[in-house]
Amino acid sequence: MRKIIVIDDDTSNLDVIALVLEHAGYKVYSFASGKDLLKNVSEIWPDLIILDMLLNGEDGRDLCKLIKTTAQYQFIPVLMISIGDKRHLIADCMADGYIEKPFAIEDLARTVSSYLSPN
């Protein structure tokens, strides 16, 4: 089963994203902070990371850049997620893609499946 880490400081967003992706056949690990991501990424070894751009007290783009510039994690696709169309802000952090909030459930599932297929 493919593993996805989702980081968002809004627990209602975490719950919705986890529900959609679990229904699509993925194992989802939800965290509310970037510190949790850094603490758990080496144990989980996710196939994909969905990372909120604006976390409480943290910039998700900095976390994304850290993941993408760390040799052992650089191959993990990272999708940034935020309110509105901020695609133009993700190039510098080397994110692989972008999900706009609010999102349609079908769009979320389709975007994730374009990077992964459930086992």
pLDDT at 117 over 70: no
Domains and CATH numbers, the chain: 3-115 (3.40.50.2300)
Q: What is the pLDDT of residues 75-96, one digit of tens each?
A: 999 999 998 878 887 888 999 9
59 confidence band (pLDDT: 50, 70, 90): very high
CA distance 65 to 92: 8
**What amino acid is encoded at 83 in this protein?**
I
Q: Is the peptide bond before 77 cis (omega within 30 degrees of 0)?
A: no
Q: What is the pLDDT of residue 84?
A: 82
119 confidence band (pLDDT: 50, 70, 90): low
CA distance 58 to 46: 21
CA distance 78 to 51: 7
Percent of all residues in the chain with a pLDDT value above 70, rounded to a whole number: 97
Q: What is the pLDDT of residue 90?
A: 82
Q: What is the pLDDT of residue 23?
A: 95
116 confidence band (pLDDT: 50, 70, 90): confident
> In this structure, what token pair is assigned to residue 80?
């940034």
